[in-house]
Amino acid sequence: MGRNETAKFTIFGNELPHISSNEEERDKSHLANQVSVYVMKRIAFTGPESCGKTTIAKQFAAHVGGTYVEEFARAYLEKRNGLYNESDLVTIAQGQWAQWYQTDGILVADTEMLVLKVWSEVRFGRVDTLIEEALKTQDFLCYPDIPWEPDPLREHPEQRMELFQRYKNSLEKMNLPYSILKGDLDVRIAHCLDVFSR
């Protein structure tokens, strides 16, 4: 993504409505009427658990003068002792959008809707249509070549490469541009800045 480009995101109105997980209770035509477009410059880091997304997102935000926006899912799950069901993923997506919507200028995130897509596929075998529809441009896909860091909210220490490939396949299937980040933090930052300056 070059310096003069912007990323467009679909937002459900100025205030995100409560979204029921029950397909039969949704009034999709009503939701469609609430959709508006919000434009920002957004840089996202995505990939499997413990691959360095948060560390590099914070460093990169500092380098480019952007605003780092935390992952909504972490705070949400910590309040629930890590317990969740399928409908919670829609709530998490809604909360993440709300955080992004409140940010001006360059937004740097350590998560993306693709994380929720892969998460839902692995845990529940399907993906809510509202998460699918929210998928937008991805920028940096983090390769899991750094040591695993245990965390109570992480679930798949032995499946990082498998999940990385799932992320990569999803990006290619959706024809979304991306760059793979490998190596230590300095190497990753240098690559990000090179891509960002094009």
Residue 40: pLDDT band (50, 70, 90) is low
Cα–Cα distance, 92 to 134 (Å, whole number)? 13
Residues 7-196, CATH architecture: 3-Layer(aba) Sandwich (3.40)
Residue 146: pLDDT band (50, 70, 90) is confident
Residue 137: pLDDT band (50, 70, 90) is low
Q: Between these two residues, 131 and 28, which has the higher pLDDT value? A: 131
Instruction: Determine the pLDDT at residue 76.
Output: 96
Label the pairing between strands 7-12 and 35-46: antiparallel
**pLDDT at residue 183 is higher than 90:** yes
- pTM of this structure: 0.63
Residue 22: pLDDT band (50, 70, 90) is very low
Residue 31: pLDDT band (50, 70, 90) is very low
* Strand, helix or coil for residue 104: coil
Per residue in 46-80, pLDDT tens? Answer: 888 888 899 999 999 999 999 999 999 999 999 99
* Strand, helix or coil for residue 72: helix
DSSP conformation letters of 151-193: -TT---TT-HHHHHHHHHHHHHHTT---EEE-SSHHHHHHHHH
% of the chain with per-residue pLDDT over 70: 78
